[in-house]
Structure 1
Amino acid sequence: MLGGATLVMFGTIAASGVRIFSREPLNRRAILIIALSLAVGLGVSQQPLILQFAPDWLKNLLSSGIAAGCITAIVLNLIFPARKA
């Protein structure tokens, strides 16, 4: 029962994310930020040894794939300038 409820919850969150992406056309900047954030988040969660030589504070900060992906998205949003409309 709990597994089914969890599956429905994550499905709902994924559908909400797709709806948010579909509201605004994705340009190259947005696609790059999304792709790199997903890659970092999945990479950290699938290969935790990536951080084996990193300092302890960085390991703690990036130990979760979700945290690593979010931090990557925030940093890339600040680094890559958005075009003014």
Structure 2
Amino acid sequence: MNKKIAKTSLMIAVFCLTISISIPGQALASWMASYYKTHPMSTDQLRDSWGKPVNVIQMDNGVEKMIFGPKDVVIGYTYFLIKDGIVVDKNVTGN
């Protein structure tokens, strides 16, 4: 009986940990997108703030991905998604 309780408790703990890790990440992603909807930033304003991009990638859907440095060892490069000359989202490249 003790093994069953321990196994159930472990499963509940893993489930709670998974939920607590995934929800904040999703909330941050939607917060960033909604932030740029209510606080528009032009490409010129972005370059004034961040300088010259390290790389610019033209994506198929008409969105431009501007990657800025320097690279952070842990999270990678910061990039912005631009559509029609306005920033629509911000994220990091990962390692």
Bucket of the pairwise TM-score, normalised by the shorter protein: 0.3 to 0.5
Tell me the TM-score normalised to structure 2 length. Answer: 0.36
More helix by proportion, 1 or 2?
Answer: 1
For the pair shown, the structure with the greater C-alpha radius of gyration is 2
Tell me the TM-score normalised to structure 1 length. Answer: 0.39
